[in-house]
Structure 1
Amino acid sequence: MERWKSVFAENLLSQLSAGEITADQIIDVREAEEWDYYHLEGTKLIPMNTVPHCLGDLDDNKSLYIICAHGVRSEAVCRYLSGQGYDKLYNVEGGMAAVAHLQGFQYD
């Protein structure tokens, strides 16, 4: 059984702007080059392949919103973190491409 939920980009942005979540709860698992191209200010960059080495940087008491470019890598990271005991996980459907589109930025 999956121990994470999905959240759409619209909901992520509205929760962020309403102060229901903070930017540091958003974990961006893309590569540094993708991050440099476009990212949400205040979010944490932890590239997918480094996640196992960065578990100490993740607060398992807070909800974590995992995002990548389109939602595939972030789902894999949710699966991994779920296996490590994290249970307040959200995979951002559509990823940064959907977020960028909502903010008027042509991502890809």
Structure 2
Amino acid sequence: MKPYTSIAPNEFLSKYKEGMKDADIIDVREPEEWDYYHLEESRLVPMNTIPVSLDTLSKEKTLYVICAHGVRSEHVCYYLNQAGYGNVVNVEGGMAAVSGLCGFKYD
């Protein structure tokens, strides 16, 4: 059993469109990926900077973690859970899946 939860891209997009109160979207891709396409309400924290960025992440809010295809975000969710963040959610399929639902092709 995974120590974090996952959310389907369509479910995540619905929540995003409704406005995510008491939640942060953490994008763990690299800056060039972020520059290509990102969600307005998200915050860039590249995967390799997570260990030194822990003090900037809220333990009180739900953290939706997203990457390009859902693999890096899974690793970050696991890491955050081990670091004491109890409310982390992996966005399945990452930006490729979410952007596809928005009509934007992300490769």
Asked whether the two chains share a fold, i.e. TM above 0.5, the reply is yes
Partner of 1:83: 82
Asked if structure 2 preserves the Cα contact closer than 8 Å seen for 1:24 and 1:43, the reply is no
- 1:2 to partner: Cα distance: 2.4
> What is the identity, as a one-letter code, of the residue corresponding to 1:3?
P
Query: Is the aligned partner of 1:44 residue 2:33?
Result: no
What do residues 7-38 of structure 1 show as CA deviations (whole Å, max 9, x unaligned)? 0111111011122x249610000000000000
Contact 2:27 2:44 in 1 (8 A): yes
Residue identity over aligned pairs, in percent, reads 56
1:60 aligns with 2:59: yes
What is the TM-score of this pair, normalised by structure 1?
A: 0.94
Post-superposition shift, 1:57?
1.0
Letter in 2 for 1:53: V
CA RMSD in angstroms, aligned pairs only: 1.4
Gaps of 5+ in 1: none
Tell me the distance in 2 between the aligned counterparts of 1:23 and 1:74.
20
Given residue 16 of structure 2, which amino acid in structure 1 is its aligned partner? L
Supply the distance in 2 between the matched residues of 1:93 and 1:30 (Cα, whole angstroms): 14
- Runs of 4+ in structure 1 off by over 3 angstroms are none
In the alignment, the residues of structure 1 paired with residue 79 and residue 29 of structure 2 have an alpha-carbon distance, to the nearest angstrom, of 15
Counterpart AA for 1:58: L
Q: How many residues are treated as equivalent by the alignment?
A: 107
